[in-house]
């Protein structure tokens, strides 16, 4: 038997792409591929792309350009593009970069083995369909290798919201939820292999409505079923939409012991006028009232959010409304971006905000968010938190993990091992992490 073939995957974007890359590697493992950390000695290079950020496609073409020398030196090297840029620009990728052997969209990567075989025969392979078959069911089960203590688990894909700035409905398709039994089987498998914390993933994860034995299950019901799995210590989920934050899910935050007190709930803007132009279908007031209900159920919950500044036609007053919402909510973490156009989306055709104005607004918003994040982090000093340790730190004898609130926590102590949880008393707060001592 010859040496195994080497697969190099570079993953861009969200946690869902991280999960997808793992499954792609598993699918190609049946073709004799093993992972490698460098493209230099790879037999196949696969870029798993994201279309959310500005100039995403151009960055992919630039990355592909770096591999021209490798392809020239080794004509048998296969190069593939997967993910959302592949979905949006499949034929254009093939036209602009003839060295690319295969292009596969995010709903078709279960077909990678047959596409790889075709590419091996010198035939270009392009698949950006939205197939009827369930890719998760078709993919072989995960190999039984040990895993780290945390893992992502996709339960829902696609989006029916059609926000005016977003390409996800066009690249990932309509909302689809995986059957509850399959999710639970995969979760049990992960726990058997050492996983202690699972983060459920979806473009609109709280819109989950997977088939159960007695009708469709909500995300809350799925969380409660996961709560019963022995050995699973923590449950998280992301990303949520305010309109799908149901009563039973809010209640679960207050009642389910394994559901962590951290919630990422994007709002995007605090201006009702801009929210309407974004097609967000909620108001600033309804979002704030929702946060109040969630905090009533779980008073210590840490809220995270997303913000877009400089959305087309955003005025100074619209921006100030967003700043007021941030002050009202008090975020423990947030992700903020300057609006960038996405061809084919409604907002791309509207009057754009001056880039210098948008830059200034982003700077001011991020300064406020940073102030709130740091204040909440500093308030943790003196408190006891439960830390799941994930890896050694940079210093000898140091271990690093995450608290219930997703804060990075480090201790200098020989006792914790990867995958173990300890109570830690926080003694100091740094710019990006907390430090403490085992209790």
Are 44 and 33 in contact, with CB atoms under 8 Å apart? yes
Chain centre distance of CA 318: 28
**Dist CA 233 CA 198 (whole Å):** 9
Is 50 annotated as ligand-binding? Answer: yes
What is the token pair recorded at 118? 């075709």
**Dist CA 192 CA 146 (whole Å):** 8
Strand partners, 264: 304
Strand partners, 6: 34
Is 166 annotated as ligand-binding? Answer: yes
Torsion of CA 224, 162, 104, 306, to 10 degrees: -60
DSSP, res 277: H
Chain centre distance of CA 141: 22
The residues, ordered by sequence, that sit 6+ positions from 415 with a Cβ below 8 Å of its Cβ are 422, 438
For residue 237, give the 3-state DSSP assignment: strand
Residue 45: other Cβ atoms inside 10 A: 25
What is the token pair recorded at 122? 């010198």
What is the token pair recorded at 68? 């021209």
| Helix (H) or strand (E) run with residue 275 in it | helix 272-278
Is 256 annotated as ligand-binding? Answer: no
What is the secondary structure of 168-194 as a DSSP string? HHHHT-S-EE--HHHHHHHHHHHHHTT
Are 334 and 376 in contact, with CB atoms under 8 Å apart? no
Backbone angles phi, psi at 216, to 5 degrees: -65, 140
Residue 225: other Cβ atoms inside 10 A: 16
**Dist CA 327 CA 331 (whole Å):** 8
Are 275 and 269 in contact, with CB atoms under 8 Å apart? yes
**Dist CA 368 CA 125 (whole Å):** 48
Pairing, β 384-392 against β 421-429: antiparallel
Bond before 375 cis per omega within 30 degrees:
no
Chain centre distance of CA 17: 7
- Binding site residue list: 14, 50, 84, 159, 163, 166
- Binding site residue list for [4Fe-4S] cluster: 14, 50, 84, 159, 163, 166
């Amino acid at each position: 038997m010859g040496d195994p073939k080497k697969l190099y995957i570079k993953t861009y974007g969200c946690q869902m792409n991280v999960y997808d890359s793992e499954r792609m590697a598993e699918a190609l493992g049946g073709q004799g591929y093993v992972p490698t950390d460098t493209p230099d000695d790879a037999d196949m290079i696969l870029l798993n792309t994201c279309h959310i950020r500005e100039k995403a496609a151009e960055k992919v073409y630039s990355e592909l350009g770096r591999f021209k020398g490798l392809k020239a030196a080794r004509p048998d090297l296969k190069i593939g593009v997967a993910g959302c840029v592949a979905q949006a620009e499949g034929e254009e990728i093939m036209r602009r970069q003839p060295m690319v052997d295969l292009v596969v969209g995010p709903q078709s990567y279960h077909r990678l083995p047959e596409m790889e075989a075709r590419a091996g025969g010198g035939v270009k392979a392009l698949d950006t369909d939205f197939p009827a078959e369930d890719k998760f069911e078709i993919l072989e089960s995960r190999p039984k290798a040990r895993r780290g203590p945390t893992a992502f688990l996709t339960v829902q894909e696609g989006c029916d919201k059609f926000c005016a700035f977003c390409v996800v409905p066009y690249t990932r398709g309509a909302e689809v939820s995986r059957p509850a039994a399959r999710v639970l089987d995969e979760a049990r498998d992960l726990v058997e292999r050492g996983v202690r914390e699972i983060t459920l993933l979806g473009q609109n994860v709280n819109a989950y409505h997977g088939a159960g034995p007695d009708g469709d299950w909500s995300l809350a019901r799925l969380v409660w079923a996961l709560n019963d799995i022995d050995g699973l210590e923590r449950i998280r989920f992301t990303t949520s939409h305010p309109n799908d934050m149901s009563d039973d899910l809010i209640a679960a935050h207050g009642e389910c012991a394994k559901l962590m007190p951290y919630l990422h709930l994007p709002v995007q803007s605090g201006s009702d006028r801009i929210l309407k132009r974004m097609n967000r279908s909620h108001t600033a007031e309804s979002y704030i009232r929702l946060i109040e209900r969630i905090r009533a159920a779980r008073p210590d919950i840490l809220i995270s959010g997303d913000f877009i500044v400089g959305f087309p036609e955003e005025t100074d007053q619209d921006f100030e409304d967003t700043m007021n919402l941030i002050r009202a909510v008090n975020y423990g973490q947030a992700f903020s971006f300057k609006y960038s156009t996405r061809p084919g989306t409604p907002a791309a055709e509207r009057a754009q905000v001056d880039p210098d104005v948008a830059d200034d607004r982003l700077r001011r918003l991020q300064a406020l968010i940073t102030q709130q994040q740091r204040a909440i982090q500093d308030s943790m000093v003196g408190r006891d938190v439960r830390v799941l340790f994930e890896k050694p730190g940079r210093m000898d004898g140091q271990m690093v993990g995450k608290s219930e609130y997703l804060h990075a926590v480090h201790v200098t102590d020989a006792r914790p091992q990867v995958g173990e949880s300890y109570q830690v008393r926080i003694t100091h707060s740094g710019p990006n992490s907390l430090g403490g001592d085992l209790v």
